[in-house]
Amino acid sequence: MIQSRMIGDAKVTRVVEYSGPTHAPEFLFPEISKAERDAGIAAQRGWMAPHHYVPHMDRFVVTIQLWVVHAGGNVILIDTGVGNHKKRAAPRMDMLNTMMMPWLEAAGAGPDQVTHVVHTHLHTDHVGGNTVMQDGKWVPAFPKARYLMPRTEYDFWRAEYDRGDTGVQSGSFADSVLPVLDAGLVDFIEPGQEVAGCLVGEDVSGHAPGMLAFRLRSNGEEGMFSTDTMHSPIQVAYPHWNDRYVLWADKAKEARARVLKHAAEREALIMPMHFGAPYCGYVRRQGEGYRFEGAGW
Protein backbone atom coordinates (compact mmCIF):
# COMPACT_ATOMS: atom_id res chain seq x y z
CA MET A 1 0.00 0.00 0.00
CA ILE A 2 1.39 3.38 -1.04
CA GLN A 3 -0.17 6.63 0.18
CA SER A 4 1.02 10.23 0.00
CA ARG A 5 0.16 13.54 1.65
CA MET A 6 1.65 17.02 1.82
CA ILE A 7 3.19 18.63 4.88
CA GLY A 8 3.64 22.17 3.69
CA ASP A 9 5.69 21.90 0.51
CA ALA A 10 7.09 18.47 1.38
CA LYS A 11 5.51 15.34 -0.05
CA VAL A 12 5.44 12.43 2.41
CA THR A 13 4.70 8.88 1.24
CA ARG A 14 4.30 5.78 3.34
CA VAL A 15 5.12 2.32 2.00
CA VAL A 16 4.13 -0.76 4.05
CA GLU A 17 6.46 -3.73 4.21
CA TYR A 18 3.95 -5.78 6.20
CA SER A 19 1.19 -5.27 8.74
CA GLY A 20 -0.87 -7.66 10.83
CA PRO A 21 -2.05 -8.93 14.23
CA THR A 22 1.26 -10.30 15.43
CA HIS A 23 1.79 -9.35 19.09
CA ALA A 24 -0.06 -10.73 22.13
CA PRO A 25 -0.55 -8.14 24.90
CA GLU A 26 1.56 -10.12 27.38
CA PHE A 27 4.35 -10.33 24.80
CA LEU A 28 4.34 -6.67 23.78
CA PHE A 29 3.87 -5.28 27.31
CA PRO A 30 5.39 -7.85 29.67
CA GLU A 31 6.08 -5.35 32.47
CA ILE A 32 2.40 -4.38 32.77
CA SER A 33 0.25 -6.64 34.95
CA LYS A 34 -2.45 -8.71 33.29
CA ALA A 35 -5.12 -6.86 35.25
CA GLU A 36 -3.87 -3.47 34.07
CA ARG A 37 -3.44 -4.66 30.48
CA ASP A 38 -6.92 -6.13 30.33
CA ALA A 39 -8.53 -3.05 31.84
CA GLY A 40 -6.56 -0.71 29.59
CA ILE A 41 -7.39 -2.60 26.42
CA ALA A 42 -11.06 -2.81 27.38
CA ALA A 43 -11.19 0.95 27.95
CA GLN A 44 -9.60 1.72 24.56
CA ARG A 45 -11.10 -1.11 22.54
CA GLY A 46 -13.76 1.07 20.90
CA TRP A 47 -11.22 2.99 18.81
CA MET A 48 -8.39 0.45 18.80
CA ALA A 49 -10.34 -2.34 17.05
CA PRO A 50 -9.88 -3.56 14.40
CA HIS A 51 -6.94 -1.60 12.95
CA HIS A 52 -4.72 -1.55 16.04
CA TYR A 53 -6.08 -4.49 18.03
CA VAL A 54 -7.99 -7.61 16.95
CA PRO A 55 -10.22 -8.64 19.89
CA HIS A 56 -11.07 -12.20 18.87
CA MET A 57 -7.35 -12.97 18.46
CA ASP A 58 -6.21 -10.83 21.41
CA ARG A 59 -3.41 -9.47 19.26
CA PHE A 60 -2.03 -6.00 18.63
CA VAL A 61 -1.52 -5.03 15.01
CA VAL A 62 2.11 -4.16 14.34
CA THR A 63 3.24 -2.67 11.04
CA ILE A 64 6.62 -2.29 9.40
CA GLN A 65 6.51 0.78 7.20
CA LEU A 66 8.92 3.14 5.50
CA TRP A 67 8.47 6.87 5.00
CA VAL A 68 9.64 8.73 1.90
CA VAL A 69 10.05 12.51 1.86
CA HIS A 70 10.36 14.55 -1.32
CA ALA A 71 11.57 18.02 -0.35
CA GLY A 72 13.78 20.63 -1.96
CA GLY A 73 14.94 18.28 -4.69
CA ASN A 74 15.94 15.57 -2.23
CA VAL A 75 14.45 12.10 -1.98
CA ILE A 76 14.73 10.98 1.62
CA LEU A 77 14.03 7.50 2.96
CA ILE A 78 13.33 7.30 6.70
CA ASP A 79 14.62 3.87 7.79
CA THR A 80 14.56 0.85 5.48
CA GLY A 81 12.55 -1.87 7.24
CA VAL A 82 13.43 -5.54 7.55
CA GLY A 83 14.63 -6.02 3.97
CA ASN A 84 14.56 -9.07 1.74
CA HIS A 85 16.42 -12.38 1.99
CA LYS A 86 17.83 -11.64 5.43
CA LYS A 87 18.15 -14.50 7.93
CA ARG A 88 16.49 -13.30 11.13
CA ALA A 89 15.58 -14.84 14.48
CA ALA A 90 11.95 -13.65 14.52
CA PRO A 91 9.85 -15.80 12.16
CA ARG A 92 7.82 -12.81 10.98
CA MET A 93 11.04 -11.18 9.76
CA ASP A 94 12.92 -14.21 8.52
CA MET A 95 13.81 -14.37 4.81
CA LEU A 96 11.19 -11.90 3.59
CA ASN A 97 10.63 -11.66 -0.14
CA THR A 98 8.44 -8.61 -0.70
CA MET A 99 8.00 -6.16 -3.57
CA MET A 100 9.47 -3.35 -1.48
CA MET A 101 11.92 -2.14 -4.12
CA PRO A 102 9.31 -1.81 -6.90
CA TRP A 103 6.95 -0.19 -4.38
CA LEU A 104 9.63 2.35 -3.47
CA GLU A 105 10.30 2.98 -7.13
CA ALA A 106 6.57 3.57 -7.64
CA ALA A 107 6.78 6.13 -4.82
CA GLY A 108 9.62 7.92 -6.60
CA ALA A 109 12.30 6.46 -4.35
CA GLY A 110 14.01 3.86 -6.49
CA PRO A 111 17.61 2.71 -5.96
CA ASP A 112 19.07 5.50 -8.10
CA GLN A 113 16.64 8.20 -6.91
CA VAL A 114 17.15 8.22 -3.14
CA THR A 115 19.54 10.97 -2.04
CA HIS A 116 19.44 10.33 1.72
CA VAL A 117 18.71 7.29 3.88
CA VAL A 118 17.99 8.73 7.32
CA HIS A 119 18.09 6.30 10.24
CA THR A 120 16.17 6.89 13.43
CA HIS A 121 18.08 3.99 15.00
CA LEU A 122 19.81 0.78 13.97
CA HIS A 123 17.50 -2.03 15.05
CA THR A 124 16.97 -4.98 12.73
CA ASP A 125 13.61 -3.81 11.39
CA HIS A 126 14.94 -0.36 10.53
CA VAL A 127 18.15 -1.13 8.61
CA GLY A 128 17.53 -4.36 6.68
CA GLY A 129 16.69 -2.66 3.41
CA ASN A 130 20.03 -0.84 3.41
CA THR A 131 21.61 -3.61 1.38
CA VAL A 132 20.78 -6.13 -1.33
CA MET A 133 22.55 -9.32 -2.36
CA GLN A 134 24.73 -8.96 -5.45
CA ASP A 135 27.28 -11.50 -6.65
CA GLY A 136 27.19 -13.28 -3.30
CA LYS A 137 27.69 -10.26 -1.05
CA TRP A 138 25.62 -7.52 0.53
CA VAL A 139 25.97 -4.18 -1.25
CA PRO A 140 24.27 -0.80 -0.75
CA ALA A 141 20.71 -0.78 -2.08
CA PHE A 142 20.84 2.98 -2.69
CA PRO A 143 24.33 3.59 -4.09
CA LYS A 144 23.79 7.31 -4.80
CA ALA A 145 22.51 8.11 -1.29
CA ARG A 146 24.21 9.23 1.87
CA TYR A 147 23.28 6.95 4.77
CA LEU A 148 22.82 9.08 7.90
CA MET A 149 23.14 7.28 11.23
CA PRO A 150 23.00 8.49 14.86
CA ARG A 151 26.59 8.40 16.05
CA THR A 152 25.74 7.32 19.60
CA GLU A 153 23.67 4.43 18.28
CA TYR A 154 26.37 3.28 15.89
CA ASP A 155 29.08 3.47 18.55
CA PHE A 156 26.98 1.39 20.96
CA TRP A 157 26.41 -1.50 18.55
CA ARG A 158 29.91 -1.26 17.07
CA ALA A 159 31.35 -1.81 20.55
CA GLU A 160 29.19 -4.95 20.94
CA TYR A 161 30.30 -6.18 17.53
CA ASP A 162 33.98 -5.51 18.23
CA ARG A 163 33.72 -7.42 21.51
CA GLY A 164 32.90 -10.49 19.46
CA ASP A 165 29.13 -10.42 19.14
CA THR A 166 29.13 -10.54 15.34
CA GLY A 167 25.47 -11.56 15.41
CA VAL A 168 24.44 -8.32 17.12
CA GLN A 169 20.94 -7.18 16.20
CA SER A 170 20.14 -10.59 14.71
CA GLY A 171 22.98 -10.17 12.25
CA SER A 172 21.69 -6.92 10.78
CA PHE A 173 24.68 -4.89 11.94
CA ALA A 174 26.92 -7.14 9.85
CA ASP A 175 24.77 -7.51 6.76
CA SER A 176 22.98 -4.16 6.64
CA VAL A 177 25.12 -1.54 8.42
CA LEU A 178 28.78 -2.44 7.88
CA PRO A 179 28.50 -2.85 4.08
CA VAL A 180 27.31 0.76 3.61
CA LEU A 181 30.00 1.96 6.01
CA ASP A 182 32.65 0.04 4.05
CA ALA A 183 31.31 1.60 0.85
CA GLY A 184 32.01 5.07 2.25
CA LEU A 185 28.36 6.12 2.19
CA VAL A 186 27.77 6.80 5.91
CA ASP A 187 27.60 10.17 7.65
CA PHE A 188 27.13 10.25 11.42
CA ILE A 189 24.66 12.72 12.91
CA GLU A 190 23.94 14.23 16.32
CA PRO A 191 20.76 15.49 18.02
CA GLY A 192 19.81 19.00 16.91
CA GLN A 193 21.54 18.65 13.57
CA GLU A 194 19.59 19.52 10.42
CA VAL A 195 19.84 16.89 7.71
CA ALA A 196 18.74 16.75 4.09
CA GLY A 197 17.70 20.39 4.28
CA CYS A 198 14.40 19.74 6.06
CA LEU A 199 14.77 17.38 9.04
CA VAL A 200 16.04 17.99 12.57
CA GLY A 201 16.82 15.06 14.83
CA GLU A 202 15.58 15.10 18.44
CA ASP A 203 17.06 12.78 21.07
CA VAL A 204 14.56 10.08 22.10
CA SER A 205 16.98 7.56 23.60
CA GLY A 206 15.45 4.76 25.62
CA HIS A 207 14.13 2.22 23.17
CA ALA A 208 17.59 2.37 21.66
CA PRO A 209 20.74 4.31 22.59
CA GLY A 210 20.93 7.57 20.67
CA MET A 211 17.62 7.06 18.88
CA LEU A 212 16.40 10.15 17.03
CA ALA A 213 12.92 11.32 16.12
CA PHE A 214 12.94 13.64 13.13
CA ARG A 215 10.98 16.87 12.98
CA LEU A 216 9.82 18.02 9.54
CA ARG A 217 8.69 21.63 9.17
CA SER A 218 7.54 23.15 5.90
CA ASN A 219 5.47 26.21 5.05
CA GLY A 220 3.90 26.50 8.49
CA GLU A 221 3.08 22.80 8.90
CA GLU A 222 4.86 20.18 10.95
CA GLY A 223 5.30 16.45 11.10
CA MET A 224 7.33 14.18 13.35
CA PHE A 225 8.78 10.81 12.43
CA SER A 226 8.32 9.50 15.95
CA THR A 227 10.12 6.19 15.35
CA ASP A 228 9.82 3.54 18.10
CA THR A 229 8.92 5.80 21.00
CA MET A 230 5.62 3.91 20.66
CA HIS A 231 4.83 0.55 19.07
CA SER A 232 1.07 0.89 19.48
CA PRO A 233 -1.22 3.93 19.77
CA ILE A 234 -2.48 2.54 23.08
CA GLN A 235 0.73 4.04 24.47
CA VAL A 236 -0.66 7.50 23.67
CA ALA A 237 -3.36 6.78 26.26
CA TYR A 238 -0.94 4.98 28.60
CA PRO A 239 2.49 6.60 28.19
CA HIS A 240 3.89 4.61 31.12
CA TRP A 241 3.43 1.35 29.21
CA ASN A 242 6.87 0.34 28.03
CA ASP A 243 7.02 -2.32 25.34
CA ARG A 244 9.35 -5.30 25.58
CA TYR A 245 11.93 -3.80 23.22
CA VAL A 246 13.13 -0.85 25.33
CA LEU A 247 16.74 -0.80 26.42
CA TRP A 248 16.43 1.82 29.18
CA ALA A 249 12.98 1.84 30.78
CA ASP A 250 13.05 5.25 32.47
CA LYS A 251 14.57 7.01 29.47
CA ALA A 252 11.98 5.41 27.17
CA LYS A 253 9.15 6.82 29.29
CA GLU A 254 10.78 10.24 29.37
CA ALA A 255 11.26 10.23 25.59
CA ARG A 256 7.65 9.16 25.01
CA ALA A 257 6.41 11.94 27.30
CA ARG A 258 8.43 14.52 25.35
CA VAL A 259 7.17 13.28 21.99
CA LEU A 260 3.55 13.36 23.12
CA LYS A 261 3.90 16.81 24.70
CA HIS A 262 5.61 18.32 21.67
CA ALA A 263 3.27 16.68 19.17
CA ALA A 264 0.23 18.01 21.03
CA GLU A 265 1.68 21.51 21.46
CA ARG A 266 2.90 21.80 17.88
CA GLU A 267 -0.14 20.08 16.31
CA ALA A 268 2.40 17.94 14.50
CA LEU A 269 1.39 14.89 12.49
CA ILE A 270 3.13 11.92 14.10
CA MET A 271 4.38 9.28 11.67
CA PRO A 272 5.42 6.17 13.61
CA MET A 273 6.92 3.04 12.13
CA HIS A 274 4.61 0.45 13.67
CA PHE A 275 1.03 1.74 13.99
CA GLY A 276 -1.88 0.13 12.15
CA ALA A 277 -4.25 2.01 9.84
CA PRO A 278 -4.41 4.91 9.24
CA TYR A 279 -0.73 4.64 10.22
CA CYS A 280 -0.29 8.25 11.33
CA GLY A 281 -2.24 10.87 13.25
CA TYR A 282 -2.36 13.57 15.88
CA VAL A 283 -1.88 13.65 19.63
CA ARG A 284 -4.72 15.51 21.35
CA ARG A 285 -5.00 16.55 24.97
CA GLN A 286 -7.65 14.66 26.93
CA GLY A 287 -7.96 15.63 30.56
CA GLU A 288 -4.58 15.14 32.18
CA GLY A 289 -3.45 12.83 29.39
CA TYR A 290 -3.67 12.30 25.65
CA ARG A 291 -5.68 10.56 22.98
CA PHE A 292 -4.71 9.48 19.48
CA GLU A 293 -6.60 10.85 16.49
CA GLY A 294 -5.92 9.01 13.26
CA ALA A 295 -5.31 11.10 10.15
CA GLY A 296 -7.02 10.14 6.92
CA TRP A 297 -5.35 10.05 3.54
Cis peptide leading into residue 111 (ω within 30°): no
**What is the domain extent for residue 116?**
2-294
* Burial class of residue 223 in the structure, from the number of CB atoms within 10 Å of its CB (0-12 exposed, 13-18 middle, 19+ buried): buried
3-state secondary structure the chain: CEEEEEECCEEEEEEEEEEEEEECHHHHCCCCCHHHHHHHHHHHHHHHCCCCEECCCCEEEEEEEEEEEEECCEEEEECCCCCCCCCCCCHHHCCCCCCHHHHHHHCCCCCCCCCEEECCCCCHHHHHHHEEEECCEEEECCCCCEEEEEHHHHHHHHHHHHCCCCCHHHHHHHHHHHHHHHCCCEEEECCCCEECCCEEEEECCCCCCCCEEEEEEECCEEEEEEECCCCCCHHHHCCCCCCCCCCCHHHHHHHHHHHHHHHHHHCCEEEECCCCCCCCEEEEEECCEEEEEECCC
φ, ψ of residue 51 to 5 degrees: the values are: -85, -20
Q: Long-range contacts made by residues 278-281, C-beta under 8 angstroms, separation at least 24? A: 278/51, 279/3, 279/14, 279/16, 279/63, 279/65, 280/14, 281/233
Q: Total structural domains in the chain?
A: 1
User: Is residue 73 a contact partner of residue 66, using CB atoms and an 8 Å limit?
Assistant: no
User: Is residue 37 a contact partner of residue 26, using CB atoms and an 8 Å limit?
Assistant: yes
How many CA within 13 A on the CB side of residue 141? Answer: 27
pTM of the model: 0.96
CATH of the domain at 106: 3.60.15.10
CA distances from 289 to 239, 282, 284 (A): 9, 14, 9
Q: What is the pLDDT along the chain (297 residues), one digit of tens a residue?
A: 799 999 999 999 999 999 999 999 999 999 999 999 999 999 999 999 999 999 999 999 999 999 999 999 999 999 999 999 999 999 999 999 999 999 999 999 999 999 999 999 999 999 999 999 999 999 999 999 999 999 999 999 999 999 999 999 999 999 999 999 999 999 999 999 999 999 999 999 999 999 999 999 999 999 999 999 999 999 999 999 999 999 999 999 999 999 999 999 999 999 999 999 999 999 999 999 999 999 987
